[in-house]
A and B are shown apart, each in its own frame.
Chain A
């Protein structure tokens, strides 16, 4: 090998590294994997954990989602706002497999095509969803609710022979403490207050150890204090989990984004597509947004 060739090689390598560094962007310097795609494994090396492209859903001619495109980075917390009928819940339905879009693509990581999967499969690969109306198993106790949500084999046979081990018991105990329901562990979930049910549902989501959390109006019906605690909880999750929070409550959005000071982005939906995206302050200043939503 001649020195010339070595020099040329070093130049090419340096050039490649410069390009990689320049294009790192949202992936935080991680390199895209060129190895074989592992099916069922979440691949976030390209930066995005959730990628929606050109999603269109129409119900009897009414376009609930109109060419919606959205990308959420790994570890990001994104707030989504929009007036009623903007398509927020439909978007969650598409991501979680409840509604099939007429057009478009939805990927979890870079390799998992969400449009080919059923609801329970999507849930098992790590997308947790909280409904607008708190949905818990009302006839079961708080403890049993968390036990069912606990990450474990979902098959019929393993459920029949399932026994909690010490570690899992500790996880449930820690979760009960986190969601402030330790004293109600044996209460029937149906007897909890509205705010407590919301917390229980969030707890159930976290027991599944999801990579992406979709939260549809998580603080509806909560007291101010509960709302504040919820905001703290979500901010503590960020980093390990990616969160998408759909909310009407501007005060809560303000708390989550610290009024734009922590650099969290807000997306405004309107008539089924993205109207604006940016920091809360930018969005609030946006003419179009003021017109359709915030202003009057």
Chain B
């Protein structure tokens, strides 16, 4: 018997982890209870005078930040795990928002300023009929499909050509900036049919129900919270699968991935499109709650902010970008009230400080503290 028999695998060699540890599942369940149970009760049932009352302002702020957190999570998948820094994710967010906004504009019906069935900006431009891309805008289901399809398709086409040409690193980041900037210029124009400078606002109804009521606001809040948690679990599943490990391998040594027989183009394209669609959905949730969408969301600065949230929270950790989105935007809403002029300086300083002192972000800092080193 000279043949070496393969030794049975000891448990130490393969620690097969589930999707989440028991503790983390508990945290997810808790988050779900808070979002779908506690906050609605505190906001709707607890009277406004009570110290436990969650104000409409707070609810709206948290809802907005949860939309941002979805973007940060999407950014983490493409940047933190795959090593591709996109500085154009704002465009996907805005496209999802515009698709939702078109539906909401149609829901206004004849209640606009001009009391006409067309949206106000079209009346103002003296348009007699809807342009072609508004064809399905009165159907909720069709527009919800567009929320997914438009960002997904743009990401697919853009990503296919960029990744096929093997554009990497800073060059890729720069062309994503150019992409979002070009889209912004296009949407600024009145002829494009997206309300130009002012975008869409003054929404009245969604699915025939008034949009500005407390219960509708709460419903949107709960949907946003559940979507965020759902996307977190999806992202967790993705990065825990072999697919996720290939992404990390692409980040660390792309040529080795190729010479191992994987086609990096497909993998990058898959995660790029998933990430873009997540941003689009975040945008669609954002618009009815904030009540406005305009080309400002496509400005290069808006996209850079998404990257900052991910970096501040901690890249490559999934929970980090969510923490980062809450931390930076929480700071922003406090700062812009207390010292409005200094917010941008603070943001810049924060980014520099994080890059130099906390390359792993807030989560990295907490982990180091925990390990006691």
Q: Which residues of A contact B (CB under 8 A)?
A: 96, 98, 118-120, 123-124, 128-129, 131, 135-140, 143-144, 147-149, 154-156, 159-162, 164, 169-174, 176-177, 182, 185-186, 204, 208
Q: Are B267 and A162 in contact (CB under 8 A)?
A: no
Closest to A176 in B: B13
Pick from B4, B9, B12, B260: contact of A148, CB under 8 Å: B260
Instruction: Bin the interface of chain B by size.
Output: 20 to 34
A92 to chain B, nearest CB (A): 10
A194 to chain B, nearest CB (A): 16
For A185, the chain B residues whose CB sits under 8 A away are 12-14
For B260, the chain A residues whose CB sits under 8 A away are 120, 123, 148-149, 204, 208
For B259, the chain A residues whose CB sits under 8 A away are 96, 119-120, 123, 128-129
Task: Mark B110-136 against chain A: 1 for CB-CB distance below 8 A, else 0.
Answer: 000000000000000000000000000
For A147, the chain B residues whose CB sits under 8 A away are 242, 245
Interface CB pairs A-B, < 8 A, 17? A96-B259, A119-B258, A119-B259, A120-B259, A120-B263, A123-B261, A124-B261, A129-B259, A140-B249, A154-B261, A154-B262, A156-B270, A159-B241, A159-B243, A174-B7, A186-B12, A208-B261
Task: Kindly state whether residue B8 has any CB partner on chain A within 8 Å.
Answer: yes
A-B contacts besides A139-B252, A185-B13, 5 pairs, CB < 8 Å: A120-B259, A138-B253, A159-B246, A160-B238, A170-B6
B1 to chain A, nearest CB (A): 16
For B8, the chain A residues whose CB sits under 8 A away are 170, 173
Closest to B7 in A: A173
Task: Kindly state whether residue B255 has any CB partner on chain A within 8 Å.
Answer: yes
Task: Kindly state whether residue B43 has any CB partner on chain A within 8 Å.
Answer: no
Q: Are B242 and A136 in contact (CB under 8 A)?
A: no
For A177, the chain B residues whose CB sits under 8 A away are 4, 6-7
B236 to chain A, nearest CB (A): 13
Q: Are A160 and B241 in contact (CB under 8 A)?
A: yes
For B243, the chain A residues whose CB sits under 8 A away are 156, 159-160, 162
Task: Kindly state whether residue B266 has any CB partner on chain A within 8 Å.
Answer: yes
Q: A176-B13, A177-B6, A186-B12 are in contact. Are A135 and B255 (CB under 8 A)?
A: yes
Give the distance in Å from the alpha carbon of A136 to the alpha carbon of B245 in the complex: 13
Give the distance in Å from the alpha carbon of A173 to the alpha carbon of B243 in the complex: 22
Pick from A120, A138, A143, A169: contact of B258, CB under 8 Å: A120
User: Considering the complex of A and B, which 6 residue pairs feature the smallest CB-CB distances, nearest first?
Assistant: A174-B6, A123-B261, A124-B261, A162-B242, A159-B243, A119-B258
Q: Which of B1-20 contact A (CB under 8 A)?
A: 4, 6-9, 12-15
Give the distance in Å from the alpha carbon of A87 to the alpha carbon of B14 in the complex: 42
Q: A135-B255, A186-B12 are in contact. Are A155 and B266 (CB under 8 A)?
A: yes
A137 to chain B, nearest CB (A): 4
For A123, the chain B residues whose CB sits under 8 A away are 258-261
Q: Are B4 and A174 in contact (CB under 8 A)?
A: yes
Task: Kindly state whether residue B367 has any CB partner on chain A within 8 Å.
Answer: no
Q: Are A138 and B252 in contact (CB under 8 A)?
A: yes
